[in-house]
Structure 1
Amino acid sequence: MNIIREISEQARRTAADIFNGGPIANASPSSPEVPEDLRSWLPDLFDRFPIVLPWSKPSPVDPALHNIWILDNTAFRTPQPGDRSPDLAELSDPNHTQPRLTAGPDAAAGQTKPVGPGSGWEVEFVACYFIKGSGKDIASTTAALMRHLNISDDDVATKKRIAARLEPFVDTVLPNRTLRISIGGEEEQVLGPSSYAGISSGLHELHFTPTSPTTQSSAVNLPPPFGLPSHTVFAEGKGWGVISDIDDTIKFTQTTSAFGILQNTFVVDEPQPIEGMPELYAKMNATLHNPAFFYLSASPYNLYPFLKRFREAHYPQGTIILRDASWQNLGGLIASLQLNTEEYKSDRITKIHSWLPHRKVICIGDSTQSDPEAYGDAARKYPGWIKAVFIREVSGIAGMDDKTKNAPERFETAFRGLERGLWCVFSDPTEVAQRVEELSRDGDADVLGVESKDGDDSQGPTAQ
Structure 2
Amino acid sequence: MSFQRSTSSLMEERTRVNGHFSDTESSLASVSTRPSHALHKAHKLAHLFSYLGASNPLPAPIEADDVVWVMDNVAFRGRGGQWEAEFVAATFDHQASPAVVDIVGDIASKVGLSKGAREEQTIEERIAPFIMEVLPGRQVKLNFGGSTAIKLGPGGRNGISSDVRKLPNAKAGSLAQSTTDVPMGVVGSLKMKTLYAEPEGWAVISDIDDTIKVTQTSDPVGILRTTFVSEPMPVSGMPKLYARLHKLLTPSAPFFYLSASPYNLYPFLREFRETFYPHGQLILRDSSWMTLSGLLSSLTLGTERYKTDRMKKIHRWLPRRKLICVGDSTQSDPEAYGDIFRSFPGWIKLILIRKVTDVAAVGIKEKNEDKRFEKAFEGVPR
Structure 1 counterpart of 2:59: 58
> Is residue 47–residue 172 contact of structure 1 (8 Å, CA) maintained in 2?
no
Structure 1 counterpart of 2:27: 40
Q: Which amino acid aligns with 1:414?
A: A
Task: Please give the alpha-carbon distance, in whole angstroms, between the structure 2 residues aligned to 1:392 and 1:412.
Answer: 15
2:176 is aligned with 1:175: no
* Gap regions ≥5 residues in structure 2: 1-15, 40-46, 51-55
Identify which of 255, 274, 281 aligns with 2:242: 281
Task: Please give the alpha-carbon distance, in whole angstroms, between the structure 1 residues aligned to 2:238 and 2:75.
Answer: 26
Identify which of 395, 401, 410 aligns with 2:364: 401
**Match runs of 1:411-426 below 5 Å:** 411-420=373-382
Question: C-alpha displacement at 1:248, in angstroms?
Answer: 1.1
Structure 2 counterpart of 1:12: none
Q: Which amino acid aligns with 1:241?
A: A
TM-score (norm 1): 0.71
Structure 2 counterpart of 1:381: 343
Looking at CA atoms only, which structure, 1 or 2, has the larger radius of gyration?
1
Structure 1 counterpart of 2:53: none
Question: C-alpha displacement at 1:35, in angstroms?
Answer: 3.8
Task: Please give the alpha-carbon distance, in whole angstroms, between the structure 2 residues aligned to 1:46 and 1:419.
Answer: 52
> Is residue 45–residue 330 contact of structure 1 (8 Å, CA) maintained in 2?
no
Structure 1 counterpart of 2:12: none
**Match runs of 1:325-344 below 5 Å:** 325-326=287-288, 329-344=291-306
Q: Which amino acid aligns with 1:68?
A: V
Question: C-alpha displacement at 1:222, in angstroms?
Answer: 5.2
- The CA deviation string for residues 339-385 of structure 1, in whole angstroms up to 9 with x for no partner, is 10000000000010000001000000001110000000000000110
Structure 1 counterpart of 2:75: 75
Question: C-alpha displacement at 1:78, in angstroms?
Answer: 1.3
> Is residue 48–residue 135 contact of structure 1 (8 Å, CA) maintained in 2?
no
Question: C-alpha displacement at 1:137, in angstroms?
Answer: 1.6
**Match runs of 1:316-327 below 5 Å:** 316-326=278-288
Question: C-alpha displacement at 1:177, in angstroms?
Answer: 0.8
Q: Which moved more, 1:368-377 or 1:41-50?
A: 41-50
Q: Which amino acid aligns with 1:200?
A: S
Structure 1 counterpart of 2:229: 267
Task: Please give the alpha-carbon distance, in whole angstroms, between the structure 1 residues aligned to 2:289 and 2:152.
Answer: 24
Question: C-alpha displacement at 1:255, in angstroms?
Answer: 4.7
2:179 is aligned with 1:218: yes
Task: Please give the alpha-carbon distance, in whole angstroms, between the structure 1 residues aligned to 2:201 and 2:144.
Answer: 25
Question: C-alpha displacement at 1:147, in angstroms?
Answer: 2.1
Task: Please give the alpha-carbon distance, in whole angstroms, between the structure 1 residues aligned to 2:282 and 2:295.
Answer: 17
Task: Please give the alpha-carbon distance, in whole angstroms, between the structure 1 residues aligned to 2:185 and 2:137.
Answer: 23
Structure 2 counterpart of 1:196: 157
**Match runs of 1:68-107 below 5 Å:** 68-80=68-80
Q: Which amino acid aligns with 2:233?
A: Q
Q: Which moved more, 1:209-218 or 1:179-188?
A: 209-218
2:220 is aligned with 1:233: no
Task: Please give the alpha-carbon distance, in whole angstroms, between the structure 2 residues aligned to 1:390 and 1:223.
Answer: 46
Task: Please give the alpha-carbon distance, in whole angstroms, between the structure 2 residues aligned to 1:341 and 1:210.
Answer: 35
Please state which structure has a larger fraction of its residues in strand. Answer: 2
Task: Please give the alpha-carbon distance, in whole angstroms, between the structure 1 residues aligned to 2:197 and 2:148.
Answer: 19
Task: Please give the alpha-carbon distance, in whole angstroms, between the structure 2 residues aligned to 1:279 and 1:147.
Answer: 36
Task: Please give the alpha-carbon distance, in whole angstroms, between the structure 1 residues aligned to 2:33 and 2:310.
Answer: 27
- The CA deviation string for residues 300-338 of structure 1, in whole angstroms up to 9 with x for no partner, is 100011111110011000000000114553211111111
**Match runs of 1:296-315 below 5 Å:** 296-315=258-277
Structure 2 counterpart of 1:135: 97
Task: Please give the alpha-carbon distance, in whole angstroms, between the structure 2 residues aligned to 1:279 and 1:69.
Answer: 29
**Superposition CA RMSD, Å:** 2.2
Question: C-alpha displacement at 1:47, in angstroms?
Answer: 4.5
Structure 2 counterpart of 1:6: none
SS at match of 1:337: helix
Structure 1 counterpart of 2:127: 166
Task: Please give the alpha-carbon distance, in whole angstroms, between the structure 2 residues aligned to 1:180 and 1:359.
Answer: 31
SS at match of 1:162: helix
When residues 408 and 176 of structure 1 are mapped into structure 2, their CA distance, relative to the original with a 3 A threshold, is same
Equivalenced residues, count:
346
Task: Please give the alpha-carbon distance, in whole angstroms, between the structure 2 residues aligned to 1:310 and 1:323.
Answer: 17
SS at match of 2:284: strand
Task: Please give the alpha-carbon distance, in whole angstroms, between the structure 2 residues aligned to 1:226 and 1:275.
Answer: 34
Task: Please give the alpha-carbon distance, in whole angstroms, between the structure 2 residues aligned to 1:256 and 1:212.
Answer: 38
SS at match of 2:224: helix
Question: C-alpha displacement at 1:46, in angstroms?
Answer: 6.3
- The CA deviation string for residues 139-169 of structure 1, in whole angstroms up to 9 with x for no partner, is 121112112222122323x111100111110
Structure 2 counterpart of 1:99: none
> Is residue 133–residue 167 contact of structure 1 (8 Å, CA) maintained in 2?
no
When residues 288 and 210 of structure 1 are mapped into structure 2, their CA distance, relative to the original with a 3 A threshold, is closer
Structure 1 counterpart of 2:11: none
2:246 is aligned with 1:251: no
2:351 is aligned with 1:364: no
SS at match of 1:172: strand
TM-score (norm 2): 0.85
Q: Which amino acid aligns with 1:289?
A: T
